[in-house]
Amino acid sequence: TMPVADGIEPTEWNEKNRQEQAYVSDYIRSCLASHGITATEEGPYTARAGEVVHLKTDFRFPLTDTHDLGRLVADLHPTPAVCGLPKAEAYRFIHEHEALDRRYYAGFAGWTDPQGDTQLYVNLRCMEVTGGHKAVLYAGGGIL
């Protein structure tokens, strides 16, 4: 993720950002394959969200059984962008050494319409609104 400076989007990405995106895309591709899914891909490309841009790859595929969606999301989350690789070891290390309860740091957001069409996005750096007029903002930076 990079800021948009003076309304101008960056046109080049450094090696760290390209490599992180490749790790996440490879991971998603592998998870999909383990579910017997072959996806079409578009990207990586620069996507703007407000005053920041990030590298994005779209994966499109049909799901023959919508009950598989929950299992697929459970296998995908957390992605290497927020957990690391190898996943089991990184996940265990984070839970042993990080004092923060990540709760809503990352996850999936999207929708499913009545026809079963679904769009899901990996979301990062969320905000949790709690009782008592309190908001918790989650932020972080990748380590490669």
- The span from the CA of 41 to the CA of 7, in Å, is 28
Tell me which residue range forms the domain holding 82.
Answer: 2-102
> pLDDT at residue 15 above 60?
yes
pLDDT in tens, 20-30: 999 999 999 99
Average pLDDT over residues 3-19: 88
Residue reference for tokens 């042993």: 96
Looking at the DSSP bridge assignments, the partners of residue 109 are: 121
The total of structural domains in the chain comes to 1
Tokens read off for 107: 């996850």
Q: What is the mean pLDDT of residues 81-87?
A: 89
User: Bigger pLDDT: 143 or 121?
Assistant: 121
The secondary structure of 16-85, three-state, reads HHHHHHHHHHHHHHHHHHHCCCCCEEEEEEEEEECCEEEEEEEEECCCCCCCHHHHHHHHHCCCCCCCCC
Whether residue 111 is contained in a domain is answered as: no
Taken in order 39, 102, 15, 55, the sign of the CA dihedral is positive
Residue 45 has pLDDT above 90, yes or no: yes
Look at residue 33 in the predicted model and tell me its pLDDT: 96
Radius of gyration of the chain measured on its C-alpha atoms: 17
Q: Is the pLDDT of residue 144 over 60?
A: no
**Mean pLDDT within 93-97:** 92
